[in-house]
A and B are shown apart, each in its own frame.
Chain A
Amino acid sequence: MSDKTIIELSNVYLKTDRGHEVFKDLNLKLLSGESAIIYGAAGSGKSTLIELLVGRRFADAGSVELFGSLMQKNKKRIIKSVRRKTGGIGGLFTLVPSYTVSENITLPLVLSGERKKVQKERLMKMLTEFSLLKQASVYPDKLTRVENTLVQFARANVAHQPLILIDEPLAGLDLKTYDRIYEYMSKLAVSGLSLVIVSSEELKNKLPNTSSYHLINGSLA
């Protein structure tokens, strides 16, 4: 695995506790700066794939490597380190209900021990970029769904994490919001970051620098 490989899934096999095979022979390789969008029907294992990538679940066979480290249940330090390099939007990832928008956005910076001055600068940048200045001191339960998604985008961007996982970013959005979110994802896709987007519906336009895969019968086509 080269230094620039962000994700490498090799022959991943996973079944649920009830014996249902989620992944049979899953393979995926993503280099730094590359992105992937993975389509699949409901129940095909899209969200489970995200869980594998953040160390919430572990493969029964095969290997899951992120940033050159093998994700294993007993390697908690590695999992923590991978998570610090990974941003997330949607699905598993939500906002912390007891934190304001500002606190949610700066959370990855607090966790990585960033200086207060840097935190403030980056927060202002994100609030401005995602038009969230008015919502800075609002708690998540007072946000609209779109605002909530935007805050998650801001949080995933603030610490310049090299990998961002996005679960169903555009499902059920009105046209205007769809375009706005699409625009953000396009920006991220060309910014040198790696995105893994899972979605049940195909995007209207192809994202730049992004490969498309279809998750079907437990493997990627």
Chain B
Amino acid sequence: MNRIGHVCKEIFRNLYRNPGTSLSAVLSMTLLLLLFDIFWIAADTSDKFYEDYLSDLQMEIFISEDYPDSSITIIKDEIKKIDAISSLVFISKESARNELTDLVGIDLLVGYDSSNPLPQSFILTFQNDFINSTDLTEIENRILSQKGVSNVYYSKNWLAKAESTKNIIADIGLFLGILILLTVLVSSANNMRLTAKTRAIGFSQMRLLGAGKLLLAMPFIIEGVFMGALSAGIGWGIIFYWKEKIQFTSFEIVFPTLEEIGFYCLAAGILGLISGYVGIRRALRL
């Protein structure tokens, strides 16, 4: 048996000799990573919901009464120069009146037949990347500085609150993510340490016979990688099994792509690698 054969045999020996420890390690990692997966899906879904909702956000730009109609194109051209805009619609006094009539009926507008008090306006929509407080405030200020613009309106307060909520969710997600990953790391490292402890005499003898650290650590590191990736894979397997059975009609649940899941399993494998090494490190002293 060569050294590679020895390492391979050791991996299976670990699993065979300590099936309880290995199973509990995989189960606890699966559970924790599953929690992380669920939070990931929830965060992506709420992000999508938030973005869909925000994509409807509009900005209204009101033109001063005394601004000449012939110069409105100057304002329009200036607004068009803003990169963030995805659509620009001009609402004339007449169109505004018609829209208001549609909304409130004709009775309330009696007496305003000859004089229309409604201002002319533009309605803007934006590309998703620019729908945030910072960019919209900047756009608002730029438009307000235009001659002939009397007022700019959009759901400024609502946007600030939505952003604040989104940031809180992101902070909780980050905290939860770090907590779960740390728990996975500590828990699996501890499992490895327990396994290594049961074989302390063997390690000591192998070190005395001149075994290198890498040779002793490699089976644990590979086992860690395998367990990490397997736990992550099982977690997603469970989720995709239930995905087929649960359907929501009111909103779309956003799942990560297969590529993202692949990277995630790889990351879990790396986490397992670290925990495998951390678990065995003490047993490798000379």
Q: Which of A97, A106, A112, A113 contacts B201 (CB 8 A)?
A: A97
Interface digits, B192-213 against A, CB 8 Å rule (1 contact, 0 not)? 0000000101100111111110
Segment touching B, from A33-41, A74-82, A172-180, A211-219: A74-82
Contact residues in B for A162 (Cβ distance below 8 Å) = none
Segment touching B, from A88-96, A142-150, A198-206: A88-96
Of the listed residues A88, A99, A107, A112, the one surrounded by the most CB atoms of chain B closer than 10 A to its CB is: A107
Contact residues in B for A88 (Cβ distance below 8 Å) = 208-209
Contact residues in B for A110 (Cβ distance below 8 Å) = 1-3, 6
Contact residues in B for A83 (Cβ distance below 8 Å) = 207-210
Closest Cβ of chain B to A140, distance in Å, is: 10
Closest Cβ of chain B to A83, distance in Å, is: 4
Tell me the residues in window 1-59 of chain B with beta carbons closer than 8 Å to chain A beta carbons. Answer: 1-3, 5-6, 13, 17
Complex: chain B residue closest to A109, CB-CB:
B1
Closest Cβ of chain B to A91, distance in Å, is: 11
Q: A56-B286, A79-B286, A111-B215 are in contact. Are A95 and B205 (CB under 8 A)?
A: yes
CA distance A111 to B10 in the complex (A): 14
How many A-B pairs have beta carbons closer than 8 Å: the answer is: 60
Closest Cβ of chain A to B195, distance in Å, is: 11
CA distance A110 to B205 in the complex (A): 14
Contact residues in B for A116 (Cβ distance below 8 Å) = 1-2, 5
CA distance A96 to B286 in the complex (A): 16
Closest Cβ of chain A to B63, distance in Å, is: 81
Interface digits, B201-235 against A, CB 8 Å rule (1 contact, 0 not)? 11001111111100100000000000000000000
Q: Does A24 have its Cβ within 8 Å of any Cβ on chain B? A: no
Closest Cβ of chain B to A123, distance in Å, is: 11
Tell me the residues in window 96-130 of chain A with beta carbons closer than 8 Å to chain B beta carbons. Answer: 96-99, 106-108, 110-113, 115-116, 119
Q: Are B201 and A111 neighbours in the complex by a CB distance under 8 Å?
A: no
Closest Cβ of chain A to B179, distance in Å, is: 36
Complex: chain B residue closest to A82, CB-CB:
B210
Chain B interface residues toward A at CB < 8 A: 1-3, 5-6, 13, 17, 199, 201-202, 205-212, 215, 286
A-B contact pairs, 21 of them (CB 8 A): A55-B286, A56-B286, A76-B286, A80-B210, A80-B212, A82-B210, A86-B210, A92-B208, A96-B202, A97-B202, A98-B199, A108-B209, A110-B2, A110-B3, A110-B6, A111-B3, A111-B209, A111-B215, A115-B2, A116-B5, A119-B1
